[in-house]
């Protein structure tokens, strides 16, 4: 277990969510008819191509990430959701925005502590005025999917030599 002292290496990621309004048909067929949106929260590679391969491709972060835990609002059953393989994403339905805690556990070889990020789940489109008003669902549906993503860099300082090898061979 040899550390490479003085070296920093980072991996660029994006994290956030997309959301769409459910159709009336989908809501009628649902066990939770009060839910208005379907959303996906994810941690992805910032180096991924738009339609990148999810498994084994540029967006597969499993060479350095072992688990991503998404901690949802307490109104959800089993609010702590673990994703143990790529793609590190979770799809749910709901009616409200809330803060999602995203806990990233790295592969054992890294010797790194878990990292925690926070993302405000965004369901409602931004308005031109910047006012936090929520448009009616039929208006929101016409506006199309909502996207809210942030760029970040996971930095590893003084990485173990074998972990550095893993990082640089991908
Ligand atoms: C709000 N502070 O009041 C937020 C809470 C909670 C969202 C939003 C589904 C829950 C369920 C859901 O969308 N919860 O299915 O019970 O806006």
d(CA 89, CA 13): 13
Ligand 1 contact, 75 CB (< 6 A): yes
Residue-wise pLDDT for 66-118, tens only, equals 999 999 999 999 999 999 999 999 999 999 999 999 999 999 999 999 999 99
97 CA → ligand 1 middle, Å: 7
Ligand 1 contact, 92 CB (< 6 A): no
Ligand 1 contact, 33 CB (< 6 A): no
Judge whether 86 and 63 are in contact, CB under 8 Å. no
What is the pLDDT at residue 147?
Answer: 97
Provide the ipTM.
Answer: 0.93
Judge whether 123 and 109 are in contact, CB under 8 Å. no
10 CA → ligand 1 middle, Å: 35
Ligand 1 contact, 95 CB (< 6 A): yes
Q: What is the 3-state secondary structure (H, E, C) of the chain?
A: CCECCCCEEEEEEEEEEEEEECCHHHHHCCCCCCCCEEEEEEEEECCCCCCCCCCCCCCCCCCCEEEEEEECCCCCCCCEEEECCCCEEEEEEECCCCEEEEEEEECHHHCCCCEEEEEECCCCCCCCCCCCCCCCHHHHHHHCCEEEEEEEEEEEECCEHHHHHHHHCC
Ligand 1 contact, 82 CB (< 6 A): no
Residue-wise pLDDT for 105-160, tens only, equals 999 999 999 999 999 999 999 877 777 788 899 999 999 999 999 999 999 999 99
From the CA of 32, give the closest atom in ligand 1: 15
Closest Cα to atom 10, ligand 1: which residue? 75
Ligand 1 contact, 160 CB (< 6 A): no
Judge whether 131 and 148 are in contact, CB under 8 Å. no
In b/e form, how buried is each residue of 109-121, taking b as 16+ CB within 10 angstroms? bbebeeeebebeb
d(CA 44, CA 38): 19
Dihedral of CA atoms 132, 138, 141, 142 in degrees, nearest 10, equals -100
74 CA → ligand 1 middle, Å: 8
Tell whether the model's pLDDT for residue 52 goes beyond 70. no
What pTM was computed for the model? Answer: 0.92
What is the pLDDT at residue 121?
Answer: 98
102 CA → ligand 1 middle, Å: 17
């Amino acid at each position: 277990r040899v550390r490479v002292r003085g070296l920093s290496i980072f991996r660029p990621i994006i994290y956030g969510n997309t959301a769409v309004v459910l159709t009336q048909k989908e809501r009628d067929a649902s066990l939770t008819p009060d839910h208005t949106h379907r959303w996906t929260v994810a941690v992805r590679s910032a180096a991924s191509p738009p339609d990148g391969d999810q498994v084994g491709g540029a967006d597969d972060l499993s060479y350095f990430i072992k688990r991503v835990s998404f901690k949802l609002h307490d109104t959800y059953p089993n609010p702590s959701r673990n994703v143990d393989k790529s793609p590190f994403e979770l799809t749910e339905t709901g009616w409200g925005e809330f803060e999602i805690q995203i806990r990233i556990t790295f592969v054992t070889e890294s010797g790194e502590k878990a990292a925690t990020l926070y993302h405000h789940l965004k369901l409602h489109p931004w308005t031109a005025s910047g006012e936090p008003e929520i448009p009616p669902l039929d208006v929101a549906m016409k506006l199309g999917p909502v996207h809210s993503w942030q760029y970040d860099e996971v930095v590893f300082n003084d990485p173990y030599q074998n972990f550095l090898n893993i990082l640089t061979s991908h």
